[in-house]
Structure 1
Amino acid sequence: MLDNYRPVDVTQRARELAEPAAGEAMELPARRAPGRTSFSSPGRGGKGPRPPQAKGLHSIRVGEEYIDLSAWSQLVDPSQTNAVAAALGALDLDGSISLSDLVDAVVDRVGRDGLEALSAHGAGRHPGRLAGVRRHEIAAAVNRYRGLRKRK
Structure 2
Amino acid sequence: DEDTSATNFLIRDEIMQKIVSKDKEPITPFIDQVKNIYKKFGTSSVLVMGGSGDYFEVADTVILMDSYLPHLVTDKAKEIIKNRKDLREIESYEDFRDITERIPLPSSIDPFRGRKKNVKTRGLNNIIFGTQNIDLSSIEQIVDSSQVNSIADIILCALQKTYIDGKNTLTTILDMVFEDIDKYGLDIISEFRDQHPGSYALPRKFEVAAAVNRLRSLKVLQVP
Q: CA RMSD in A?
A: 2.8
Q: Decide whether aligned partners of structure 1 residues 26 and 9 sit closer, same or farther in structure 2, where only a CA change above 3 A counts.
A: closer
Please list every run of 5 or more consecutive structure 1 residues that lacks an aligned counterpart in the other structure.
Answer: none
Deviation at 1:78, TM superposition (A): 1.1
Please list every run of 5 or more consecutive structure 2 residues that lacks an aligned counterpart in the other structure.
Answer: 1-12, 16-83
Deviation at 1:135, TM superposition (A): 0.4
1:115 and 2:182 aligned: no
1:93 and 2:164 aligned: yes
Distance in 1 between residues matched to 2:151 and 2:110, nearest whole Å:
12
Distance in 1 between residues matched to 2:164 and 2:181, nearest whole Å:
18
User: Structure 2 matches for 1:1-152, cutoff 5 A?
Assistant: 19-20=93-94, 28-36=98-106, 37-42=108-113, 44=115, 49-50=116-117, 52-91=119-158, 92-122=163-193, 124-151=194-221
2:8 maps to which residue? none
Deviation at 1:52, TM superposition (A): 2.5
Q: Decide whether aligned partners of structure 1 residues 76 and 30 sit closer, same or farther in structure 2, where only a CA change above 3 A counts.
A: closer
The answer to whether the Cα contact below 8 Å between 1:2 and 1:8 also exists between their aligned partners in 2 is no
Q: Which has a greater percent of strand?
A: 2
Q: Tell me the TM-score normalised to structure 1 length.
A: 0.74
Residue 189 of structure 2 aligns to which amino acid in structure 1?
L
What's the secondary structure of 1:107's corresponding residue?
helix
Aligned residues: 137
Structure 1 runs of 4+ with >2 Å offset: 7-11, 17-20, 25-30, 36-39
Distance in 1 between residues matched to 2:146 and 2:199, nearest whole Å:
5
Deviation at 1:73, TM superposition (A): 1.9
Distance in 2 between residues matched to 1:144 and 1:26, nearest whole Å:
25
The answer to whether the Cα contact below 8 Å between 1:53 and 1:85 also exists between their aligned partners in 2 is yes
What's the secondary structure of 2:127's corresponding residue?
strand
Deviation at 1:121, TM superposition (A): 0.5
Q: Which has the higher contact order (CA 8 A, sep 6+)?
A: 1
User: Deviation per CA, 1:29-81, whole angstroms, max 9, x where unpaired?
Assistant: 4321112233411455xxxx515221222100012220001112222221111
Distance in 1 between residues matched to 2:124 and 2:173, nearest whole Å:
24
Q: Decide whether aligned partners of structure 1 residues 84 and 10 sit closer, same or farther in structure 2, where only a CA change above 3 A counts.
A: same
The answer to whether the Cα contact below 8 Å between 2:118 and 2:131 also exists between their aligned partners in 1 is no
